[in-house]
Amino acid sequence: MNKINLFTFLFTAGVAFATFSCGQSGSKNTDTPTSGSIKISADESYAPIVDSQIQTFQGLYKYAKVQAVYKPEAQVVHDLLTDTIRFAIMARPLNDREKAEFEKLKLTPRMNKIAVDGIALIINKENTDTTLTLQQIRSIFTGKTTSWSQLDPTAKDGKITIVFDNSNSSTARFILDSINQKQPLPPNTYASTSNSNLVDYVAQNRNAIGVIGVNWISDRRDSTAISFLNKVNVVGISRSDNPTSVDDFIQPYQGYLAQGTYPLRREVFIISKEARAGLGTGFASFISGDKGQRIILKSGLVPASMPVRIVGFRQ
C-alpha cells in the first residue's frame, strides 16, 4: 500500500498540459467504422464493461480489432492530449482547461455521454457502521474524523484507514472535487495497485474504508462482482444530516442511480478526436446504440439512451 501524496496527484493530472507530439491521429489511418484496428485508453474503473463492449463488437465485426489499455484517469487525459490515442472512455467530460489545449491544436473532440455510474464505499464485514451520512463521509475524507468510535460511541475503537485503487484515479479525483471540495486528503489515505487489491485490503483490515467504482460491484451475474461482494459490505449513504430511518440511507443500486437519489453519482463519457469516420467512430456508435446500451444496462449501471424500469414493491 502506498500513501497518497496530494501534490503528486495534482502534478500528474497536470502533466498532460506540458507537452504535445505527433502520433496516431496524425498518421494515415486505413480503418473503417467496422474494420481495421484501434488502440483506446479507458479509465480502469470501467474495465469490466469495456471488455464486454469490445468482445461483443468484435464478435459482430470480425475484421475489427479494438485494443483497450486501462489506466488511471490522469493518464487517460494525458494520452488524449499527447496524441497517443484518439478515443477514450472517462468518468467525466473534458474540463475548460483541456478544451483550451485542444483548441490550440485546432481540434474539437466529440464528447458523448454513454452511462450513469457511481462511487461506492466499502468496509470490512466486521464493521458495524454500514450507514453513513454525507456529512460523516466528508468528515472522514477531510481528516476531521479519524476513528470509528467518533461516529458511533458503541463501536470498537479503531483508526480509520482510507484506501483508493490508485492515487491518480477518477475515484480519488471525485472525492477531492465532490466530497472534499478541494480540501486535501488526510495522512491516513493510501493507494492500492488495483481494484482487486483494494477489496482484499478492506476485507483483511477491519478499520479500512475503500473507494471503488460501482461498476465493479453492480453486476450480480459477474463472478468478479460476486467475489467482491462476498468479501466486503457496501455502505448506505444519506444526504440528510439527521436521517430518521434506514430508508434514508441509499445503496448504489441501478434504480437509485437512475433516479438520482444515490448521492455519489457520476457520468461516463466517450471522448473522440477522430477527424474521419474510422473504427473509433464505429465503436462509439455501437456503445451508444441499442446493443451497447443493453450491455451497460445488464452491467447494473444506467444507460444514457435507454430508459431504466423502476419496479416498486408494496408490503
- The tens-digit pLDDT sequence of the chain (315 residues) is 666 644 344 334 444 333 333 344 444 568 999 999 999 999 999 999 999 999 999 999 999 999 999 999 999 999 999 878 999 999 999 999 999 999 998 888 999 999 999 999 999 999 988 999 999 999 999 999 999 999 988 777 789 999 999 888 999 999 999 999 989 999 999 999 889 999 999 999 999 999 999 988 887 777 888 889 999 999 999 999 999 999 999 999 999 999 999 999 999 999 999 888 899 999 999 999 999 999 999 999 999 986 555 544 444
Q: Which one of 3.40.190.10, 1.10.760.10, 3.30.1340.10, 3.30.70.260 gives the CATH number of domain 117-259? A: 3.40.190.10
Domain boundaries, the chain: 26-116+267-303, 117-259
- Residue 4 has a pLDDT of 61
- Grid cell 446493443 — which residue? 291
> How many CB atoms neighbour CB 64 within 10 A?
22
Q: Quick one: pLDDT at residue 28?
A: 54
Nearest to 194 by CA among 175, 213, 221: 213
Question: For the whole model, what pTM was predicted?
Answer: 0.85
Sequence-separated (6 or more) residues with CB below 8 Å from residue 17: 81, 97, 98, 101
pLDDT in the model for residue 123: 96
Q: Ramachandran region of residue 260, left (φ > 0), alpha (ψ -120 to 50) or beta?
A: left
Q: Do domains 26-116+267-303 and 117-259 have the same CATH topology?
A: yes
What φ, ψ does residue 30 adopt, rounded to 5°? -115, 5
Residue 308: its pLDDT value, please? 58
CATH 1.10.490.10 fits 26-116+267-303, yes or no: no
